[in-house]
Structure 1
Amino acid sequence: MAAGSLAEFAEHVLRVDELFHDGADDSEAAVVPRRALRDRINPLEHFSDGEFLSRYRFTKDTVRELLKCLPMEESVSNRGHPLPPMLQLAVALRFYGSGTFQVVTGDLINVSQPTVCRAVERISTLIAAHLFPRTVKFPATAAEFQADTTAFYRLGRFPGVTGCIDCTHIRIKSPGGQLGEVFRNRKGYFSINVQMPTHQIPQRAGIRRPTSKPETVWRGLLEFGSAAFHA
């Protein structure tokens, strides 16, 4: 083979090699890593009764009954590996009960943070729309107030008592604006003070107020109770 032909052949090989490596680089750049799917844990099957109660603040039977009260249906398709209603409820209850980060809540049953976010939003909306009006209320009539007063008196000889109250702080981001500081509590962070009056019967009525002044809380409570009584 002539020297010219060898040189041309060598040059051709180098060009082919360059094209091959350039194509390989493009292929590598175009590869999208596939999401690893992990087996989801059903907490009702995975945890004992005591373990479940300590993590979710409800018994397994209570959670099953709660699910029946919410209009949720299984997805008709498996596209995107949707979270079953029971696991959505478990995720939301865990988030409510622990107050931890959504990613930590998701790690408990092997789901992502966006999945936790969607589940909490959906369950919260369903509870507010369907469960709240049925179970959370003040006595609406004088007769109901009298029934509560009688029940408390029978319970511990407490005269004139219609309910007990407790409060907790729900941490929030600063709402900003001129009223932002109204939501700063005595410990220095922003929160909503949630009061929970509890009757002798298992019904509750929650009131949410800014937290900087206790008199704001009590004024709101009295206004709410008066409105309920005269409704």
Structure 2
Amino acid sequence: MEGQTESLISLCRETVEIGRDLIQGFAGLSANWSQFSATWSEFSMNFSNWSSVQTQTARETLEAIHEETIATNALRRALMAAHGAAPQGVVSARSETASTQLACIRRLWFRKEVITELCHLLHTDLEAESDTRTLLSVPVKVTEVLNFYTTRSIQAPVRNICNILQFVVYCCIRQVTDALYSQQIDYIKFSMSMQTQDEHSCGFARIASFPTVQGAIDCTHVALQTPPHNGEVFHNCKGYHSLNVQLVCDHRQMILAVNAHYPDSSHDSFILLESSVPPLLQPLHAGHGWLLSDKGYSLAIWLMTPLCNPTTLAEQRYTHSHTATTTIIEQTIRVLKQRFPCLDRSGGIFQYYPDRMSMFIIVCCMVNSLDIMRGQPLPPRMAAAPQEDKDDEDEDEKHQPQRKQPDTVAAARAACQRRIAHQFQ
């Protein structure tokens, strides 16, 4: 009996010791958890403060730019009212404004007025997410994405404006690109009103006296990452994967239509017939207007292509005028790729798949058109850009056969000959 009592007492002592150890362990765990909670709270507070500082800095910068613009206009009006008598301090204000303008062009290749307009344009779409996902303001997002479009690198150097994390930049790229893409119809449009037709005709006629031209059309390669599916249809004869992008421009190099949804294996004529352009021009076949293209397209009543062997004086004049006028689309493509190196293979292949790459192309065309609509002249470097490489040469032997034109070949040739004989004698 005594032995059982002693065993029970010993077991109780061991149980007490184990309980004491458990209590001490729980106390230590509680202390560690409290320390972890305090550290995490401090980290969250520091991150929020950092984000607020970055956002406030960008907002103040953009507001200062806007205020400088208003102040400069007010000073200009005051000078005009004073018959040229410049008050004190005007020279320094103009100097500061010019310095800000130069910084915007050098960093983003856009003037501050265009950047400010983009911020106002996207404010409604981007403001709702500015405090939930990236904690960045609309001006910061817009400048970051413009810097992304206009750099030859992929994403890492984009952070050099505000030292923002790369993941945050990635979120900004998606948000701003989606917002701009949804408004493309307001800036990329092929209007066929009588006033617009007259403007296009007069503008193209001033280039080389080619009458009633409504636009110039051509296709260009835009390299992309190898798609995970059906990659062979995107592989071109130059040895890389690309989209075959169709562009139509006017005499001001403004892009009127863009089709960036077809792989390189699609023929230029096929892309044209599948686009929204033919229905706009087919009603004009009576002679009110047409497009000009290179030999990569099939002749149609509303599409004038170069002659292979001009013999008569009228045909030679036609060929000279046609060649001089169609250079406008080549210049447009060259300027577009100079302004947005992300579309140019020389800076490295953009690591995006076709769907997202198509959106980038359309958005770049839209922003470029906005800049031209606001009457902003091209920076000197783009105005004198060197000729691009041979990637965009005509490929008459494309993989996909051309689809027959709705107009018969004979009718198109007859119409072309009549125009040449009537208008180029």
TM-score by length of 1: 0.70
Aligned to 1:11: none
Distance 2:213 2:207 in 1: 11
Letter aligned with residue 206 of structure 1: V
Aligned to 1:8: none
Task: Give the alignment's Cα RMSD to 1 decimal.
Answer: 3.9
Q: Does 1:185 align with 2:236?
A: yes
Q: Cα distance, 1:146 vs. partner?
A: 5.0
Residues 1:159 and 1:181: Cα distance change in structure 2 (over 3 Å):
same
Residues 1:159 and 1:204: Cα distance change in structure 2 (over 3 Å):
same
Distance 2:109 2:255 in 1: 17
- Higher RCO, 1 or 2 (CA under 8 Å, sep at least 6)? 2
Q: Cα distance, 1:212 vs. partner?
A: 3.9
Larger relative helix fraction: 2
Q: Cα distance, 1:60 vs. partner?
A: 0.7
Letter aligned with residue 258 of structure 2: G
Q: Cα distance, 1:167 vs. partner?
A: 4.9
1:88 aligned to which of 141, 157, 182: 141
Q: Does 1:148 align with 2:200?
A: yes
2:173 aligned to which of 88, 99, 120: 120
Letter aligned with residue 250 of structure 2: H
Q: Which runs of 5+ in 2 are unaligned?
A: 1-20, 66-98, 284-425
Letter aligned with residue 86 of structure 1: P
> What secondary structure is seen at the aligned counterpart in 2 of 1:187?
coil
Q: Does 1:200 align with 2:241?
A: no
CA contact (8 A) 1:49 1:60 kept: yes
Letter aligned with residue 84 of structure 1: S
Residues 1:68 and 1:230: Cα distance change in structure 2 (over 3 Å):
farther
Letter aligned with residue 172 of structure 1: L
Letter aligned with residue 50 of structure 1: L
Aligned to 1:228: 280
CA contact (8 A) 1:211 1:217 kept: no
Distance 1:166 1:99 in 2: 24
2:268 aligned to which of 204, 210, 217: 217
Aligned to 2:118: 66
Distance 1:101 1:119 in 2: 14
Aligned to 2:209: 157
Equivalences, count: 213
Distance 2:133 2:121 in 1: 26
CA contact (8 A) 1:141 1:229 kept: no
Aligned to 2:150: 97
> What secondary structure is seen at the aligned counterpart in 2 of 1:98?
coil
Distance 1:77 1:49 in 2: 26
CA-to-aligned-CA distance 1:107-150 (integer Å, 9 cap, x gap): 332111121111111111111212x1111012345774454223
Residues 1:217 and 1:98: Cα distance change in structure 2 (over 3 Å):
farther
Q: Cα distance, 1:186 vs. partner?
A: 3.2
Distance 2:130 2:178 in 1: 23
Distance 1:156 1:69 in 2: 37
TM-score by length of 2: 0.41
Letter aligned with residue 232 of structure 2: E
CA-to-aligned-CA distance 1:87-124 (integer Å, 9 cap, x gap): 11111111122252223212332111121111111111
> What secondary structure is seen at the aligned counterpart in 2 of 1:194?
strand
Q: Larger deviation: 218-227 or 50-59?
A: 218-227
> What secondary structure is seen at the aligned counterpart in 2 of 1:204?
strand
Residues 1:222 and 1:80: Cα distance change in structure 2 (over 3 Å):
closer
Letter aligned with residue 55 of structure 1: R
Q: Does 1:49 align with 2:76?
A: no
Residues 1:175 and 1:48: Cα distance change in structure 2 (over 3 Å):
same
CA contact (8 A) 1:193 1:210 kept: yes
Residues 1:199 and 1:76: Cα distance change in structure 2 (over 3 Å):
closer
Letter aligned with residue 195 of structure 1: Q
Aligned to 2:228: 176
Identical-residue share of aligned pairs (%):
24
Q: Larger deviation: 180-189 or 136-145?
A: 136-145
Q: Larger deviation: 216-225 or 180-189?
A: 216-225
Q: Cα distance, 1:221 vs. partner?
A: 2.5
